[in-house]
């Protein structure tokens, strides 16, 4: 799928649910079906059937952050994570959602030097990179 189509796919899908997803996240719970839409993970062979919304490269993550709507939304969602310093990812997102968040924060932390994204990877996952994401990215990382 061409990069512009990937970004349009996310923007179109988010249009219907983004406000509801942000309200849910602010209330301390994000349904699993919205987690990958709000926090796109890295596509891995084991995630393919599970994630319609996954990115396939660092370049896609960089383009996502540069997109005027998607980048703003991602930063807003990541900033909301700051409000839950005493919670675990599993408490907010459930097991599969926590794995999705871990993959997303790993991917985007590699795609940018923005402190908030790197800080949330540290707060939520002790700074550890998501293993399957790193394997999918290959030896360059």
Domain boundaries, given as residue ranges, for the chain: 31-137
pLDDT at 91: 92
| pLDDT(25) > 70 | yes
pLDDT at 119: 95
pLDDT at 33: 84
Give the three-state DSSP class for 74: helix
pLDDT at 51: 63
Structure token pair of residue 17 = 């649910």
What's the whole-number mean pLDDT along residues 24-37? 91
Give, in order, the Cα–Cα distances in Å from 77 to each of 25, 31, 45, 102, 131: 8, 14, 26, 14, 23
Q: Which band of pLDDT confidence, cut at 50, 70 and 90, is reported for residue 97?
A: very high
Task: Give the C-alpha separation, 25 to 74, whole Å.
Answer: 12
> Three-state secondary structure along 95-129?
HHHHHHHHHHHHHHHHHCCCHHHHHHHHHHHCCCC
Q: Are 10 and 70 in contact (CB under 8 A)?
A: yes
CATH number of 31-137: 1.25.40.380
What's the whole-number mean pLDDT along residues 15-25? 95
pLDDT at 140: 63
């Amino acid at each position: 799928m061409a990069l512009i189509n990937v970004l349009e796919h996310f923007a179109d899908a988010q249009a219907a649910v983004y406000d509801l997803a942000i309200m849910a996240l602010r209330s301390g719970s994000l349904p699993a079906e919205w987690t990958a839409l709000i926090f796109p993970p890295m596509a891995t062979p084991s995630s393919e059937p599970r994630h319609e919304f996954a990115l396939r490269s660092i370049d896609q993550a960089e383009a996502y952050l540069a997109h005027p709507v998607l980048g703003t939304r991602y930063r807003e969602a990541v900033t909301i994570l700051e409000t839950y310093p005493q919670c675990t990812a599993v408490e907010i997102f459930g097991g599969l959602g926590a794995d999705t968040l871990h993959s997303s924060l790993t991917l985007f932390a590699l795609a940018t030097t923005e402190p908030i994204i790197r800080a949330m990877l540290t707060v939520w996952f002790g700074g550890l990179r998501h293993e399957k994401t790193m394997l999918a990215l290959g030896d360059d990382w």
